[in-house]
Structure 1
């Protein structure tokens, strides 16, 4: 299997794409699809595969600089396991010669013959085309060009080679876009902050085969990864007008940095005003309200309960909520252990974190579609070695 450079994407299609298959990375004029395609090629090079890139979009030095700005550095592989064919310099009739320069990219017969000969001579494993829309707009015979692309992809696959092709959907007419995608085993749409698998020869592993992403100096990254580390959270906290603070990592969400003693006093006030039973009930309901919608979102983007919960644990750790770990997981029982949960404290009479139990109960209810209830059965504030949250499915 060949990784596509993003674990979440590999997981959707069962671990990566099959050797000798073809993948269309479809996108818009933002070219996020191009970045993801090169991430996949870069990952393949790091795994020891040989890659031939045909660059129609811009001069190769400019391509390398652009990719370097997004975390893809081909420097260690150029001239060894990586070759770039320059399909740009003569695209507009400049007549540039030299090694690895296509003499007349618009002559589809000569161009495809050179590409296939280079593939076999260099014993490359993967052909990468960046991107086919650049030539499409210059062709007088659009249908003939689409047929040539289809033949090139299919003939490359017949040689046992894997093909990665970037396709700018904004450029192709509807029927031409559908036709140019015909020979591809996998179609991955990358645009507008969402990666979605539109076609795959093997059954997909999640109910909704798509996830949110951001494009930054590290390339195409899962949006959820940005709030699973302190650095990610800090990078996406932005001040707004009028004294507001916004978290841009997952959604545009207004947030506030909370001080521990203030949070603890709020919880103590609730207990003092309502008493231990009703106070705990209010804190529990508060936690459930905080997590409305999280389980539904995670269900669409996670492969199972364990992965979904561990993602939440990463966020809790990064945001200062404390360290959580899964102790027991079954269809009807989940036990979570916590250390240093927020807020902390010693010598208190009642548990300080019923809201955590409510949050996880709400999350599991949405994720599984079955009702769950939870309780903080141990609390460090009451002298226990750790906090413990026990969640049970309501029969």
Structure 2
């Protein structure tokens, strides 16, 4: 399997894209889909695949520089011979005729171009054929439908030879019918648009019900928003103050709350309601944060440990303390916490019952079964750590 590099997508695919498959990366003029394709190519090279890349979008040296800005460095693989780039750009736009071993002589002559590509693949024994991108050629064609047919024939012939194919295309340019037609030979279709990634098609079973994920474009490539926000630097870079005096985390309004304020709120609940009713209230307050989030929960991987670890990492990234799983079974989960928010010592009642409610509701939304949680130990009451026990009802 070749990982795409977006953790929840690779989980949905059972580890990544099956080697020898055909994959279309579809997107808009923001070109996130192109970066994601090259991210996948880099992962294929790291696994020892031999790759032929045909570049129609820009001169190869500019492509290499562009990709370095997103953590994709092809130089070592060009040097060791595992990556060959064919220049399909210079003879489209450059003055005069460009010649050389790795230059396509007349890219607009589809018959010659596809024949040269197939010959190179067969002669040098490539494992993967990559096109960056299908759109550049499409807009230059006097007869776009002939181009679509040529691409379909090329992809199918390469696939028939047992070689995998990756291609990028911009859906904003193609007509609807031409886009549908050119995607026919591809087994996988991965679409990116405005920070949302969708797995539109897969020839193999998908391991989660709704393969739709938020992503962020970074200097390390395209990564899942969940992974990005689990890092403090990721959270910090997306916090903005708007002109109305609101602190926004993308489209979510947030506020800085100090420990004293939250502890005062929790202590006030206990003062007014007493210890037992206070715990019930705080537990319900925690549950409320995840009530109705079933659709969001479905986007988490089906692996319970991985889903929980993702949620717990967000607590750490946001300064809420460290939570770790110490026991996990189908019926019982124990989580241990240190330096949880709010911190404090010398209080007679547990201060983090709302954590128990939040995680219990998350488990309920994720699994479809009802879970109950308790804070059985608390640092505020003198314990060395906080402990939360969850049981499936």
Pairwise TM-score range, normalised by the shorter structure = over 0.9
SS in 2 for 1:42: helix
The equivalent of 1:370 in structure 2 is 369
CA shift, 1:241, in A, is 2.4
| TM-superposition CA deviations, 1:189-229 (whole Å, max 9, x none) | 12222221222121111111221111122221101112211
Superposition RMSD in Å: 1.7
Secondary structure of 1:3's match? coil
State TM-score, norm by structure 1.
0.94
Residue 137 of structure 2 is matched in structure 1 by: 135
Specify which of 218, 221, 230 is matched with residue 220 of structure 2.
218
Aligned counterparts of 2:226 and 2:140: Cα–Cα separation in 1:
40
Deviations 1:354-374 (A, max 9, x none): 111111122122112233322
- Tell me if the contact between 1:209 and 1:301 (Cα under 8 Å) persists in the aligned partners: no
Structure 1 runs (4+) deviating above 6 angstroms are none
Q: For 1:46 and 1:18, locate their aligned partners in 2 and report how far apart those are by CA, in whole Å.
A: 15
More displaced 10-residue stretch of structure 1: 92-101 or 118-127? 92-101
Task: Give the Cα–Cα distance (whole angstroms) in 1 for the partners of residues 15 and 312 of structure 2.
Answer: 24
Cα separation, 2, equivalents of 1:82 and 1:370:
49
- Alignment check: 8 A CA contact 2:11 2:301 kept: no
> Structure 1 pair 222/45, CA: closer, same or farther in 2 (3 Å)?
same
C-alpha contact 1:313 1:324 (8 A) present in aligned 2: yes
Asked if the contact 1:210–1:301 (Cα under 8 Å) also holds between the matched residues in 2, the reply is no
Deviations 1:361-393 (A, max 9, x none): 221221122333222111111122221112233
- Superposed CA offset, 1:218-267 (max 9, x none): 2211011122111211222222224322212xxx1111222223322222
In 1, the alpha carbon distance for the partners of 2:192 and 2:264 equals 47
Q: Offset of 1:295 from its aligned partner?
A: 4.9
Cα separation, 2, equivalents of 1:296 and 1:338: 27
Are residue 187 (structure 1) and residue 189 (structure 2) matched?
yes
Alpha-carbon distance, 1:39 to partner: 0.3
Aligned length: 391
SS of 2:115's equivalent in the other structure is helix
134-143 or 300-309, larger mean C-alpha shift: 300-309
- Asked if 1:83 is matched to 2:76, the reply is no
Corresponding residue of 1:107: 109
Cα distance in 2 for partners of 1:267, 1:348 equals 11
Q: CA deviation at 1:344?
A: 1.6
1:255 aligns with 2:257: no
Does the 8 Å contact 1:287/1:356 carry over to 2? yes
TM-score calculated relative to the size of structure 2: 0.94
Q: C-alpha separation between the residues in 1 aligned to 2:338 and 2:168?
A: 47
Q: What is aligned with 1:354?
A: 353
Residue 56 of structure 1 corresponds to which residue in structure 2? 56
Q: CA-to-partner distance for each residue in 1:162-209, whole Å, 9 max, x for gaps?
A: 110112112211221111111111111122222212221211111112
Q: Deviations over 1:106-158 (max 9, x none)?
A: 00111011112222333221111011111111112222211111111111122
Shift of residue 294 of structure 1? Answer: 4.4
Unmatched runs of 5 consecutive residues or more in structure 2: none
Partner of 1:314: 313
> Superposition pairs for residues 32-47 of structure 1, below 5 Å?
32-47=32-47
Between the aligned partners of 2:158 and 2:145, the Cα distance in structure 1 is 20
Give 1:5 shift. 2.8
Supply the distance in 2 between the matched residues of 1:236 and 1:291 (Cα, whole angstroms).
22
- Tell me what 2:325 maps to: 326
Q: Which residue number in structure 1 is paired with residue 265 of structure 2? A: 266
Match of 2:165 in 1: 163
The C-alpha deviation readout for 1:252-308, integer Å capped at 9, x for no partner, is 111122222332222222212222122222211211122334454122232232221
Indicate the SS of the match to 1:78. Answer: helix
Match of 1:153 among 143, 152, 155: 155
**Number of the residue aligned with 1:387:** 386
Describe the SS at the equivalent of 2:52.
Answer: strand
Select between 57-66 and 298-307 the one with higher mean Cα deviation: 298-307
Distance 1:108 1:76 in 2: 31
Q: Quick one: distance in 2 between partners of 1:262 and 1:70? A: 41
Gaps (5+ residues) in structure 1? Answer: none
